[in-house]
Amino acid sequence: MEYECTPGEEIRWRIRRFQGLLQENGVAAALISQNADLFYFTGTIQRSFLFVPARGEPVLAVTGNLDRARRESRLSHIVPLKNGHWLDQTLAEFDYSIQGQIGLEMDVLPVRYYFSLRQDFPGADFRDVSEYIRQVRMIKSEYEISQIRKGAEILDDVMREAQGSIRSGMTELEVDALLGALARRRGHQGCLRMRGYNQEMFYGHIFCGRIAALPSSMETPLGGLGTTPAIAQGASFNVITSNEPIIIDFGVGINGYVTDMTRTFVIGKLSAELEEAYSFTREVKSFMEGWVRPGRQCSLLYQEAVELARRRGYGDYFMGYRESQAAFIGHGLGLEIDEYPLIAPHFHQEFQPNMVFAFEPKLVFPDVGVVGVEDDYLVTEAGVERLTTYDDRVLTIGLL
């Protein structure tokens, strides 16, 4: 794999769509600074402000390393900036100013930076444009999809390694270390970005048995114990044993783009109840594969899946146990792991071609364990294409 810079054409396509939303909504310009958004619109995360006027060429004003920013980004205007206070003078050279309706990423920008901008630019009427950014990022280009496919390929190998190497007596941490090392050697970027406040994610989650059923601080169906209440998610010192469901929920990031996959493994055999529960999660996934097409509502898919679980007696266990249930069954994938679309009750947008999402029906049985499956999908004109391709039955360890 090589150190790959985002093509200029790709960047222009992204900026153009974002500018369309700024124009439609009467926003004069946006000032972008968060790493994932910076990378999306410029191809670099070197410390900078990206000024995107509703019309015209954007300007990347770099407070960090200018050479590296220029090598990595294909934008035409990349200029040095001593510090944020000088931004006005820098933009004036391009006949731009921070006046009128100026968009900020208010869902991620810390308050202190906002106050500092308000002080420096009294003529600006700042407003939140993070929703526009998320809408633009929701629809992937062929280039972006090709990045996601690379991660999906490595994820298949991660699951194969798990099936071949896990042994009874290993700790969850030992399995995590083994799979993390495999992914990293293959070029996993080292972290999976999340947009949500306080949401943190590293390589993956590995749990065995009842410990998998612990609720966590994550806004996800599973979280696990972790090694400490300071982190409170992921693998722990819990020991892998036979005849218990082993959950591996793993992500790989390649060139910024994240993928996400879950498989249920066992050493020996699951109980008939858990086998049946697992079959149900696979059935929900099959249902989704047949159901999704452009024009159908994301929230309706959520309802259909929840209703299916309720009818089959799994209502209390679906996506978490009772009050700990996560309010989604799928999430968009891209530069962040919590992108749009959400397959959630309040996300009423329709599926569109070139959305990419993870779908993860899971059942949580307190004091017993968890079973579930997760795959990544591309929405096509006809329906969905599955991007993560590893065998999605319960995976018996040691039989490879």
Q: Alpha carbon of 65 to those of 48, 61, 77: distances in Å?
A: 9, 11, 15
Would you give the distance in Å from CA 284 to the centre of its chain?
Answer: 21
Binding mask 43-82 for a second copy (x = CB under 8 A): xxxxx----------------xx-xx---x----------
Stretch that binds a second copy, among 101-109, 270-278, 353-361, 372-380 (CB under 8 A): 101-109
Stretch that binds a second copy, among 8-16, 31-39, 289-297, 390-398 (CB under 8 A): 31-39
Binder of a second copy out of 79, 145, 178, 344 (CB under 8 A) = 178
Q: How far is the CB of 201 from a second copy (least distance, A)?
A: 8
262 bridge partner residues: 249, 374
Residues between 252 and 311 that touch a second copy (CB under 8 A): 253-257
Give which of 285, 272, 212, 220 is closest to 243, Cα–Cα: 272
How many beta carbons lie within 10 A of that of residue 367, not counting itself? Answer: 8
Identity of the residue, 212 or 394, whose beta carbon is nearer to a second copy in the bound complex? 212
**What whole-number distance in Å separates Cα of residue 108 and Cα of residue 112?**
12
Stretch that binds a second copy, among 41-49, 260-268, 354-362, 392-400 (CB under 8 A): 41-49
Binder of a second copy out of 191, 303, 352, 391 (CB under 8 A) = 191
Binder of a second copy out of 97, 163, 220, 236 (CB under 8 A) = 236
Identity of the residue, 130 or 388, whose beta carbon is nearer to a second copy in the bound complex? 130
Q: How far is the CB of 89 from a second copy (least distance, A)?
A: 19
Stretch that binds a second copy, among 53-61, 186-194, 241-249, 259-267 (CB under 8 A): 186-194
**What whole-number distance in Å separates Cα of residue 193 and Cα of residue 20?**
26
Secondary structure, 3-state, 263-284: EEEECCCCCHHHHHHHHHHHHH
Residues between 117 and 156 that touch a second copy (CB under 8 A): 128, 130
Q: How far is the CB of 251 from a second copy (least distance, A)?
A: 12
Q: How far is the CB of 349 from a second copy (least distance, A)?
A: 20
Angle made by CA atoms 262, 266, 269, in degrees to the nearest 5: 140
Is there binding between residue 383 and a second copy (CB under 8 A)?
no
Is there binding between residue 399 and a second copy (CB under 8 A)?
no
Is there binding between residue 392 and a second copy (CB under 8 A)?
no
Is there binding between residue 391 and a second copy (CB under 8 A)?
no
Q: How far is the CB of 73 from a second copy (least distance, A)?
A: 8
The enclosing H or E element of 23 equals: helix 8-24
Identity of the residue, 92 or 191, whose beta carbon is nearer to a second copy in the bound complex? 191
The CB-based long-range contact list for 223-230 (8 Å cut-off, 24+ gap) reads 224/172, 227/173
Number of residues that bind a second copy (CB under 8 A): 79
Is there binding between residue 107 and a second copy (CB under 8 A)?
yes
Instruction: Give SS3 for 389.
Output: coil
**What whole-number distance in Å separates Cα of residue 306 and Cα of residue 328?**
10
Number of alpha carbons in the 13 Å side-chain half-sphere of residue 76: 7
362 bridge partner residues: 372
Is the bond into 361 cis (omega within 30 degrees of 0)? Answer: no
Q: Alpha carbon of 351 to those of 40, 216, 283, 394: distances in Å?
A: 22, 30, 21, 29
Binder of a second copy out of 133, 212, 214, 277 (CB under 8 A) = 214
Stretch that binds a second copy, among 95-103, 250-258, 271-279, 286-294 (CB under 8 A): 250-258
Binder of a second copy out of 78, 162, 166, 182 (CB under 8 A) = 182
Binder of a second copy out of 83, 142, 185, 382 (CB under 8 A) = 185
- Token pair 């209440």 is found at 229
